[in-house]
Structure 1
């Protein structure tokens, strides 16, 4: 009969096992730190390409080494979007140069019809985070000026914002909008309101969010499009993808950032309805698909790059088990072609829309899940995705969107959100946890960190 080893004999084995565990942990920490540095290096490659070929413009064209301005005149999209990423990465010289460019060159006194939602999440959000991280009053002054110029967008009969507003005249147009564009505004306007002491910003943006919520169906779902003047739905498909996605995100995050109890109540009601009607099990995997907002009847088995934010939101709000399962599905979609497509039919296992504009959402979810669980599998997932990202999209001057994740054909486009979000989430996934704590800072949908001021 075998005998158990004596305590004296067992001690060296236990110590050796402990030492091996410590060595493995140190090796992993070293590998993660090296990955964070690698992400920073690739970020600098993109930033230096912008600086060389597109300085002072909205965005770099990474195949032709040219520049692109959204509205024919630059609003410095890339510098504003990239500023807080550089600050988080400790790239102080680059951040200072970008901040001086913004403070000295950015003007919103322009006869331009701009898309309200995109300007809010990118420019207003970026200026506010930049101000909170640097204390540079010039950034807050720019944010206040921009906010004032954008306010006419809310002057519809319903309080739901028009799609476009002219920065100089306040003239508005674009009546068909959606829950994401109407409901993804309160983090930015709420922060601006508290920093400037002007309640109008908060009041207008909160009304838009509440008016969107009030139009939910009897089963608690919102549709994809509505008319801002009548409030009537023009497309009743319900899902978590484009035109709806960040509506859910801001219900939760407005509670986290602003402590608004109405947002918490709307979140509780809305996420319960989404979790009741949208999920679908296919071969043991969890997906969130499309249904009719009024009946819950399944309309499509579509999921894509934008939908991949939801695991992170679920993890952030405490629903970790569901988040894990949905992230596994997102990663399976990614691995089907080495990069995720814009739309994927999860029942057929087929690409529906093959483009990929360098989106961050799946990486964002990996970071939130890592923060929530400490499970190193999410860092391993991130390492795999970053390798694919660099392999298939890197150019001599930056990173290029893909026309097709199947063929890997590149497009001459590097949106500012690549520097605001995609690189930021990759970096945060591997950086020291204290770099940014989501319990202390709330990231807007463009990944601009905002500090609670309760």
Structure 2
């Protein structure tokens, strides 16, 4: 099994990461790919599925415009909408725009832009969850600016980021979770690694676009503070106090609450060339592979469980929808053996009931806790399947991705759009359609079938909300980090 144990031995790793970022993460390139010649998939089939995914996207968008226009998200069955907070932040239009752009949906893009530029403003007297707003709204605005070129996207992004910067003013540098967009008051005592590190791409891109390093510096300072407090195993725990730096929950995993922290260390290196991030990722990856990866369940399968961050003792055989992101790290890291093992498990989890539940006990294949049988339309399993297909060129992964899209069509489609499921066994509908259906789930479905000549996306890295961020600058830039070494 391929392993890279030291940061000094980076040359192969660096070359592999960059090459795979261009070839796999960013498949629509102007460079001829070996995969293009050997996938054995007819252009007719790809065109058919391109149109089917576009139709699904447009059906969901029409539900939003008909029943929730100007709100954050739509409830298609009850024909109404809802907001995350007491006022709308136009979550769906901002999140959907980059996918509209990739699909070439000019009419829908015009509708989204009209809404965003006429109604979106951030002088709002309420608290928001900084991390969620950063990956969805800030990331969406930055990506839209880079794709579309309209300066108003960037102006909104700068205003939003400046309103959220107070979260980084803690004794340790580890950010607070909540911030009032009007007053700058912060809240949310205690946080998790995901809400510390998975804004690094967005703030870093903003620093590059504005020439002001403060955004990247403050975010990276928090990531470093968290990394310096890693467990004896090299793993991160689940919950830490920003003021004291003391861990309050030492359970380590790659599930929600930690997941995108690891993703952004690797993607941050690919986007910015910051070798600190590569070192932090490598230590973290080795710890995950040593203490969390579990191959004892069924031969040929690989799962990622939970352990204590200090002892490494396994404490849960839990794996879920959000955990599937780890396979993009395996692929971008060039570890295709582990990628295929984990993909076997992901495929098993998805199709055990025709569509995936939120979390399972992988020793029993049953929901891990009461209520975990729902499907939120999450994209990570489809994302994983896409990466492994692009990484291996094996058509069976293309077929898996196609079947995943078909299962969404079969079980989540309703007369007025698409909805989540309360129970993957009974297929009971859950009347809500959140913005990541547009930003991520439909985007990754589309990438399976889109023409490799259609777009030139070799210069992008996708953030954790699947917003493309341009990779067009010198790789030696790493910010000032406010003097932190």
Offset, 1:328: 1.0
Alignment of 1:115-264 (within 5 A): 115-264=129-278
Q: In the alignment, which residue of structure 1 is the partner of 2:298?
A: 283
Shift of residue 34 of structure 1?
1.1
Does residue 34 of the first structure (1) align with residue 48 of the second (2)?
yes
Q: Deviations over 1:381-440 (max 9, x none)?
A: 011111111111111222111111121111121110110000000001111235567752
- Of 72, 76, 80, which aligns to 1:66? 80
Q: Given the alignment of the two structures, is residue 93 of structure 1 paired with residue 112 of structure 2, yes or no?
A: no
Q: Residue 33 of structure 1: CA displacement?
A: 2.1
Aligned to 1:17: none
Instruction: Sort the Cα spacing of 1:436 and 1:341 in 2 relative to 1 into closer, same or farther, 3 A.
Output: farther
Q: Does 1:75 align with 2:121?
A: no
CA distance in 2, matches of 1:37, 1:376: 20
Distance 1:228 1:400 in 2: 37
Distance between the aligned counterparts of 1:144 and 1:324, measured in 2? 41
Is the 8 Å Cα contact of residues 338 and 405 (structure 1) preserved in structure 2? yes
Alpha-carbon distance in structure 1 between the residues aligned to 2:196 and 2:40: 47
Partner of 1:391: 410
Structure 2 regions of 5+ residues with no counterpart? 1-35, 475-485
Q: What is the aligned counterpart of 1:422 among 441, 451, 463?
A: 441
SS state of the match for residue 446, structure 2? Answer: helix
User: What SS does the aligned partner of 1:355 have?
Assistant: coil
What is the CA–CA distance in structure 2 between the aligned matches of 1:246 and 1:334, rounded to whole Å?
A: 21
Q: Size of the alignment, in residue pairs?
A: 433
Q: For the residues of structure 2 that align with 1:435 and 1:375, how far apart are their CA atoms?
A: 22
Match of 2:360, SS state, is strand
Q: Give the distance between the partners of 1:194 and 1:73, measured in 2 at CA.
A: 31
Instruction: Give me the whole-angstrom Cα distance separating, in 2, the residues matched to 1:425 and 1:25.
Output: 18
Residue 375 of structure 2 is aligned to residue 356 of structure 1: yes
Instruction: Say what the alpha-carbon RMSD is for the aligned residues.
Output: 1.6
Gap change, CA 1:206 and 1:437, over 3 Å in 2: farther
425-434 vs 151-160, which moves further: 425-434
User: 1:313–1:365: 8 Å Cα contact kept in structure 2?
Assistant: no
1:23 to 1:274, Cα distance in 2 relative to 1, 3 A: closer
Higher RCO (CA-CA < 8 Å; seq separation 6+): 2
| 1:111 matches 2:125 | yes
Larger radius of gyration: 1
Partner of 1:9: none
CA contact (8 A) 2:39 2:394 kept: no
For 2:16, the equivalent position in structure 1 comes to none
Do residues 370 (structure 1) and 384 (structure 2) align?
Answer: no
Q: Provide the rounded CA distance (Å) in 2 between the counterparts of 1:166 and 1:103.
A: 22
Aligned-partner Cα distance in 2 for 1:270–1:380: 32
Match of 1:10 in 2: none
Distance across 2 between alignment mates of 1:301 and 1:145: 43
CA distance in 2, matches of 1:429, 1:135: 26
Aligned partners of 2:172, 2:457: CA distance in 1, in Å? 34
1:92, CA displacement in angstroms? 1.4
Task: Considering fraction of residues, name the structure with more helix.
Answer: 1
CA contact (8 A) 2:38 2:393 kept: no
CA distance in 1, matches of 2:305, 2:87: 39
Secondary structure of the 2:420 match is coil
Task: Supply the distance in 2 between the matched residues of 1:414 and 1:176 (Cα, whole angstroms).
Answer: 29
Residue number in structure 2 paired with 1:314 = 330
Hey, what's the Cα distance between the residues in 2 that align with 1:181 and 1:426?
27
1:267-307 deviations in Å (ceiling 9; x for gaps): 11110111111111112121111111111111010001001
CA-CA distance at 1:62 after TM superposition:
1.8
1:299 to 287, 301, 315: 315
1:445 paired with 2:460, answer no
Distance 1:130 1:388 in 2: 30
* Structure 1 outlier segments of 4+, above 2 Å: 22-29, 433-440
Tell me the equivalent position of 1:13.
none
| Secondary structure in structure 2 of the residue aligned to 1:359 | coil
Instruction: Provide TM-score, normalisation by structure 1.
Output: 0.93
User: Deviation at 1:96?
Assistant: 2.0
Sort the Cα spacing of 1:288 and 1:25 in 2 relative to 1 into closer, same or farther, 3 A: closer
Rate the CA distance shift 1:436–1:229 in 2: closer, same or farther, 3 A: farther
**Residue 55 and residue 170 in structure 1: after superposition, are their counterparts in 2 closer, same or farther (change >3 A)?**
same
Q: In the aligned structure 1, how far is the partner of 2:365 from the partner of 2:112?
A: 43
- The verdict on how the C-alpha distance between 1:408 and 1:437 changes in structure 2, with shifts beyond 3 A counting, is farther
Give the CA deviation at 1:345: 0.5
SS at structure 1 position matched to 2:414? coil
